């Protein structure tokens, strides 16, 4: 438990990622590929990564039904995450089938209709939110999929100015547009509007270049990072695969930070691990207010971002979302 200690609260979905096992083959007829079930989802990945880094973290999630639900809870518990605020839900757990490209990049096929993650209510969130929340991280599918996204937006609006608010759009196009998106109540205009509502109150925005391109087609990434920073957040952190991170702050020049070069197994959970590394670094330095975040020098912030990038890089050296522990991170730094 993290009572009495300023903590990170992560709000979002729990997803079972079915990731192919390339060493297992696909059976004698080539039609039975082997998959391994990995705990996943933006919120679970961020919380687990933060817990392994020994940051005080609580995960707010609706734990759905199905044989893999217990494994999701156990995965969080074993990483030091406070799961006492889980909501027992009657709806099923979300499922993602992952395909991997030659470079380890991931694509997703989702089975999420009627899943537990999208059903948040105001009463559930009011009862679940810890009083010790210093940083609230929201984002991904649950933050822009109805009906629960409305309750999440109202919570963010209520807490704005009281805690550090972090938003990660984490766009999944198959669920944000097209016929599958429509079945969930999503379309590009609606998703952009919902995210704008959240980001209007965000102190930190973590976004991938891919997600930014979906939100603003043909926009320049350097300019976009700086423009977003001038529109409200105290910090905008943009990832771009193996390219340097872009760091935007209002009234300051755009920063670039190199990322560690590693042998990539896959990139599942990389952005989530980076976000967790950022939050863990801020909490260790006592940065729990917008004023404190704004007061960090470029050098101090650069150190936090570099460490977060190393957390993400180490995650990429292993299959699935499998972020490093604090000890593993310290060893890699040495």
Q: pLDDT for 266-310, tens place per residue?
A: 888 999 999 999 999 999 999 999 999 999 999 999 999 999 999
pLDDT at 2: 46
For range 230-243, the mean pLDDT? 95
Q: Which domains does the chain have, with CATH numbers?
A: 12-24+33-333 (3.40.1190.20)
Q: What is the pLDDT of residues 177-231, one digit of tens each?
A: 999 999 999 999 999 999 999 999 999 999 999 999 999 999 999 999 999 999 9
pLDDT at 195: 98
Measure the CA angle with vertex 265, ends 325 and 26; round to 5°.
125
Of the candidates 192, 119, 203, the one whose C-alpha atom is nearest the C-alpha of residue 159 is 203
Confidence of residue 3 (pLDDT cuts 50, 70, 90): low
Structure tokens at 319: 């299959």
Q: What is the pLDDT of residues 24-58, one digit of tens each?
A: 888 888 888 899 998 989 999 999 999 999 999 99
Decide if 10 contacts 46 (C-beta within 8 A). Answer: yes
Of the candidates 283, 286, 317, the one whose C-alpha atom is nearest the C-alpha of residue 137 is 283
Judged on CB neighbours under 10 Å (0-12, 13-18, 19+), 131 is: exposed
10 Å Cβ neighbour count for 236? 27
Q: What is the pLDDT of residues 150-159, one digit of tens each?
A: 999 999 999 9
Confidence of residue 170 (pLDDT cuts 50, 70, 90): very high
Distance from C-alpha of 91 to C-alpha of 1, rounded to nearest angstrom:
27
For range 225-239, the mean pLDDT? 97
Distance from C-alpha of 189 to C-alpha of 186, rounded to nearest angstrom:
8
pLDDT at 108: 81
Q: What is the pLDDT of residues 80-123, one digit of tens each?
A: 999 999 999 999 999 989 887 887 777 888 889 899 999 999 99
Query: If DSSP codes are grouped into helix, strand and coil, which group holds residue 234?
Result: coil
For range 154-171, the mean pLDDT? 97
Find the DSSP H helices in 141-257: 141-144, 148-159, 173-176, 178-183, 188-199, 209-215, 221-230
Judged on CB neighbours under 10 Å (0-12, 13-18, 19+), 123 is: exposed
Q: List the single range of 99-103, 143-147, 163-167, 220-224 with lowest mean pLDDT.
A: 99-103
Checking if the pLDDT of 1 tops 90, the result is no
Q: What is the largest CA-CA distance in the chain?
A: 61
pTM of the shown model: 0.93
């Amino acid at each position: 438990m993290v009572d009495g200690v300023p903590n990170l609260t992560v709000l979002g979905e729990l997803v079972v990622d079915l990731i192919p096992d390339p060493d297992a083959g696909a059976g004698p007829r080539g039609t039975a590929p082997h998959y391994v079930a990995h705990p996943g989802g933006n919120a679970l990945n961020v919380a687990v990564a933060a817990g392994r880094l020994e940051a005080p973290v609580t995960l707010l999630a609706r734990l759905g039904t199905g044989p893999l639900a217990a494994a999701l809870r156990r995965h969080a518990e074993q990483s030091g995450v406070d799961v006492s605020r889980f909501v027992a839900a009657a709806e099923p757990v979300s499922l993602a089938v992952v395909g991997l490209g030659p470079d380890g990049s991931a694509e997703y096929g989702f089975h999420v209709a009627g899943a537990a993650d999208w059903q948040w209510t105001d009463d559930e969130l009011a009862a679940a939110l810890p009083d010790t929340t210093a940083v609230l991280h929201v984002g991904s599918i649950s933050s822009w999929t109805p009906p629960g996204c409305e309750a999440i937006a109202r919570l963010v609006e209520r807490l704005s100015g009281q805690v550090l608010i972090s938003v990660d759009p984490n766009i999944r196009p198959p669920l944000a547009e097209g016929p599958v998106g429509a079945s969930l109540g999503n379309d590009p205009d609606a998703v952009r509007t919902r995210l704008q509502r959240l980001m209007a109150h965000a102190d930190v925005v973590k976004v991938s270049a891919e997600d930014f391109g979906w939100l603003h087609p043909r926009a320049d990434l350097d300019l976009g990072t700086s423009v977003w920073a001038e529109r409200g957040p105290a910090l905008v952190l943009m990832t771009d695969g193996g390219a340097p991170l872009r760091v935007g702050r209002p009234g300051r020049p755009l920063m670039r930070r190199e990322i560690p070069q590693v042998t990539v197994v896959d990139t599942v959970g990389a952005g989530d691990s980076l976000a967790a590394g950022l939050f863990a670094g801020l909490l260790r330095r006592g940065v729990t207010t917008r004023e404190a975040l704004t007061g960090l020098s470029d050098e101090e912030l650069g150190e936090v971002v570099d460490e977060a990038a190393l957390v993400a890089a180490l995650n990429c050296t292993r299959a699935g979302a499998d972020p490093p522990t604090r000890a593993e991170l310290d060893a890699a730094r040495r």
